[in-house]
Structure 1
């Protein structure tokens, strides 16, 4: 077994980190790459939006979006409080950028619906949403059922960038990414999605759900204080039956204080990389892997999670665990001795297959 803390170990970690950074940077989608949008700019206020927090601005937003030419363009939203009806939703179209001022807030109108979305992206391509805040209606929701009141809902869409956003207090997820199921049952997964510098705080079901998808990149984000209905995770990679979530990279994120796991990677998920994140003080596990395959958990700080640091459940296959720092995870009653310390920080089910846990992981109280 390798001894930790040596000069050799330090050089090896540095080389591994540099190699991973270069590899993941090379495969990450580039925001705006290949865009074919026109230079047309449309202001929502020119289409009747008031931004006073009282009047319903949903129709004005939709009018501005629909006014873009076929070649696309930018819809501009100045600072203000815009009341949006999630039951109608603001429906984005292909080849557009919804550019919100940092002082913009989209406020969800209280409603009783089980399914309702402030922004909806269904079957679109080359869409960017940036700036501003989305505030859900979980504190004023008029119903008691359902868990799908999302801030941003992405289904069957490609080349999507969500950046520099703050999404909070939604009845369901801050962001939900998944496939679009057409007549006849054919599923089109979302693909080439970039989520950067986004904060999802205090949402009811998940901070972020990654469902049926290909090539999702999440970087420099925060997912915190999720809870109210299960699973209550910061990030849940959990595709519905009928398709998979493949090739997702979560990097340099802060994931903390969630009611469930910090990150859950569920069945039908494959080729998931969790790298360089701080995952702490979640009431479930820091990272929970259930039946997923070909996953890499590398160079993360996994601390003070109530049920344990990392748990690999039956059906998990081909998981690599390397360079992580595990600190004070698991219930206090499980502590005691070197074996007990590691067991509550990292647990691997006997039925998990092809798991590699490197000696360079660190464990401490």
Structure 2
């Protein structure tokens, strides 16, 4: 267990070393190393494609009218810059329209979207393909202004360069909807992050990501470890995260924070990496509700580093923690974490894991420099848990306070309290009203 947390410390150190660019310098996973085949352009067949009519808000400027060709060969970056400039002018148009096509964007600087502007494509048919003209890291779209909306876009990395598809600074009221982010890390060796948060040490309020597909990126969403930004009132709703090469949603800010976060009705699947579906660290007031999480090498939900008031509710977990740890792991000083009404299927698990684990998490310092500490006030209640032969329902190590109540647990070896629940050096942990293999305990 300690070795694993040392690995996370190494990732955090890499993030600190990448501070000069504001980007965590996370290495691509071994699965991507040495990949020779070029990426196949377009949305993979296993990734949902958003649909619907193009969005229009106020007066419109069309990138085609300013010279964009959308043929995948011509450099359309000048036309996009002209359209964004026009939309950002006083009394200018409010929507930059991107008709269906493949837009090659050769960039020496990101495409910065002005305040109040909507960049709207035709969902599933408007491809933005940034490539690097100069600089170390390719950044596609930059949002550092309030009231920006990106809708109906497919933002796709095809060149083997270190990439951030969408970067946010202070972006109050930001909306990203009906869009697809593709990093092609299954074919390219360098990292490609989907969304980078917190590049300005300020507070961003009211961010919503909806009907979004994020596939084959490195981190789907992340914030660099040294960022001191605060993000509050954040919603991720109706998204699909597929085959990403590290954590899908990395809500981790050792020197800043995420507050008032809701992740609901999303699908997370097929992640054979040292990452999670949702990673929570230094967060407060987080709700993860009504999501589906399938086939994760490690835990699908990870709560750590003094996060408080986290509710994980009504989710479905299937075949998570396939190699190690848990379906849901709670470590390092987290407080008031409630795991309620979820459905867990661990019948395909062959590693000896608990479905829900709570423990200190190792001896190393956290990314914020604090010592590891056991979580407390952890409640596991009213869940349905189907265990494989070597799987336990719950394991608490050194947890001083909490409850394991009202759970229905089935599977070989869980017919007794000791078989279902491993409680080691715990304090005031209440165990009551659980049903084990059909028998009330």
Alignment of 1:1-365 (within 5 A): 39-68=58-87, 69-71=89-91, 73-102=94-123, 103-109=125-131, 113-122=135-144, 124-137=145-158, 140-142=159-161, 149-169=163-183, 171-180=191-200, 187-203=201-217, 205-209=218-222, 212-227=230-245, 232-241=246-255, 243-258=256-271, 259-291=273-305, 292-305=307-320, 306=322, 307=324, 308-328=326-346, 332-334=350-352, 344-349=354-359, 351-365=374-388
**8 Å contact from structure 2 (residues 68, 80) kept in 1:** yes
Q: Give yes or no for contact 1:273–1:296 (8 Å, CA) kept in 2.
A: yes
CA positional deviation for 1:82: 0.5
Shift of 1:352: 0.7
Q: Tell me, yes or no, if the aligned pair for 1:112 and 1:141 is still in contact at 8 Å.
A: no
Q: Which runs of 5+ in 2 are unaligned?
A: 1-55, 185-190, 224-228, 361-373, 389-441
Please list the CA deviations of residues 260-291 of structure 1 after superposition, one character each: whole Å capped at 9, or x if unmatched: 33334343211111000011101221111112
Q: CA deviation at 1:132?
A: 2.7
Query: 1:348: Cα distance to partner?
Result: 1.0
Comparing 167-176 with 248-257, greater Cα deviation is found at 167-176
CA 1:80–1:297 in structure 2 vs 1: closer, same or farther (change >3 Å)?
same
Over 3 Å counting, the alpha-carbon distance change for 1:348 and 1:114 in structure 2 is farther
CA distance in 1, matches of 2:203, 2:108: 23
Give the 3 Å change call, closer, same or farther, for CA 165–333 of structure 1 in structure 2. Answer: closer
Query: Using the alignment, how far apart are the partners of 1:363 and 1:302 within structure 2?
Result: 10
What TM-score does the superposition give when structure 2 sets the normalisation length? 0.64
- Quick check: which has more Rg, 1 or 2? 2
CA distance in 2, matches of 1:112, 1:302: 43
SS in 1 for 2:139: strand
C-alpha contact 1:345 1:363 (8 A) present in aligned 2? no
Given that residues 286 and 303 in structure 1 are in contact (C-alpha distance below 8 angstroms), is that contact kept between their aligned partners in structure 2? no
Q: Distance in 2 between matches of 1:111 and 1:222?
A: 31
Distance across 2 between alignment mates of 1:329 and 1:309 = 12
CA distance, structure 1, for counterparts of residue 329 and residue 242 of structure 2: 20
Residue 194 of structure 1: how far off its partner (Å):
0.7
CA drift at 1:108: 2.1
Q: How far apart are 1:333 and its partner, in Å?
A: 3.9
8 Å CA contact 1:309, 1:330 repeated in 2: no
Measure how far apart 1:328 and its partner are. Answer: 1.2
Q: Distance in 2 between matches of 1:293 and 1:277?
A: 20
Task: Return structure 1 stretches of 4+ with deviation > 6 angstroms.
Answer: none
How many residue pairs end up in the alignment?
Answer: 301
- Counterparts of 1:44 and 1:166 in 2: how far apart (Å)? 20
